[in-house]
Amino acid sequence: MLVVGDIMLDEFIFGDTNRINPEAPVPVVLVRRKEFRLGGAANAAANLAALGAQVTLISQIGNDETGKILTQLLDVAQIKHVLVARDDMITIKKTRIVARNQQVVRFDEELICPPSIEALKKTILATSSVPADAILLSDYNKGFVVKEIVDTLKSRDVPLFADVKSAHAEFVKEAFAVVPNIHEAIQFAGSGTPEEIVAKISCALNTNAIVKLGDRGAIVHAKDSKTSFYVPTKKRAVHDVTGAGDTFISGLILAHLAGAKLEECVIIANETAGIAVEKSGTAIVQQEELFASLNQKNNKIVSKEELLIKVRDLKKEGRKVVFTNGCFDILHARHIRILSRAKDFGDVLILALNSDASIHKLKGEGRPVNTEQERAEVLAGLGIVDYVVIFDEESPISLIDALRPEFFVKGNSVSEAGKKEIDLVNSYGGQFVLTGSLSDTSTTKTIEKIRQN
List, by residue number, the catalytic residues. Answer: 246
CA 451 – CA 453 distance, rounded (Å): 5
Alpha helices by DSSP H, 194-348: 194-205, 244-257, 262-277, 287-294, 304-316, 333-343
Q: Which residues pair with 40 in a beta bridge?
A: 7
Q: State the DSSP string of 135-204.
A: EEEE--SSS---HHHHHHHHTSSS-EEEE--GGGGGGGTT-SEE--BHHHHHHHH-SS-HHHHHHHHHHH
Residue 240 per-residue DSSP state: -
Q: State the DSSP string of 98-133.
A: EETTEEEEEEEE----PPPHHHHHHHHHHHHHS--S
Q: Taking CA 248 as the corner, what is the angle to CA 245 and CA 251, rounded to the nearest 5 degrees?
A: 150
Q: State the DSSP string of 339-376.
A: HHHHHTTSSEEEEEEE-HHHHHHHH-TT--SS-HHHHH
Helix (H) or strand (E) holding 284: none
Q: Can the peptide bond before residue 405 be classed as cis, meaning omega within 30 degrees of 0?
A: no
Contact between 370 and 342 (Cβ < 8 Å)? no
Contact between 253 and 134 (Cβ < 8 Å)? yes
Please count the other Cβ atoms lying within 10 Å of the Cβ belonging to residue 363. 16
Q: Give how far Cα 324 sits from Cα of 108, 160, 331, 359, 389, Å.
A: 35, 45, 15, 16, 11
Q: Which residues pair with 354 in a beta bridge?
A: 391
Residue 393 per-residue DSSP state: S
Q: State the DSSP string of 26-88.
A: SB--EEEEEEEEEEEHHHHHHHHHHTT---EEEEEEESSHHHHHHHHHHHHTT-EEEEEEETT
